[in-house]
Amino acid sequence: MDLESAKTIGMALAAGLGVIGPGIGIGVLVGHALEAIGRNPDAQGKIMTTMFIGIAFTEALAILALVFAVLVANGALIK
């Protein structure tokens, strides 16, 4: 296996595996937020605000994984 193939495989693994966790996390977060709103509709404002903050932090992990994948693809991390 040459270096370009290793970079491509590394990029695919970093992007794919790095986005699975945040994707599952956002799904669980939104599901529980909707469940909480269903149980207590009066607290919708607080729940939605907290949910969007959680989504932003979780999405930051996915963006970080994609940046890491681009660095691997460009060879910045492999000498």
Question: What is the per-residue pLDDT for 78?
Answer: 63
- Note down the domain range covering 37: 3-74
Q: Is residue 39 part of a domain?
A: yes
**Structural domain count, the chain:** 1
| Beta strand segments in the chain, E | none
Structure tokens at 25: 């996390």
Percent of the chain having pLDDT more than 90?
53
Q: Residue 46: which CATH number?
A: 1.20.20.10
Q: Is residue 63 part of a domain?
A: yes
Q: Is residue 35 part of a domain?
A: yes
Higher pLDDT, 45 or 70: 45
Q: Is residue 79 part of a domain?
A: no
DSSP state of 77: S
Question: What is the per-residue pLDDT for 77?
Answer: 66
Q: Is residue 12 part of a domain?
A: yes
Residue for token pair 């903050």: 53
Question: What is the per-residue pLDDT for 79?
Answer: 61
pLDDT digits (tens, 9 = 90+) for 48-76: 999 999 999 999 999 998 888 888 888 77
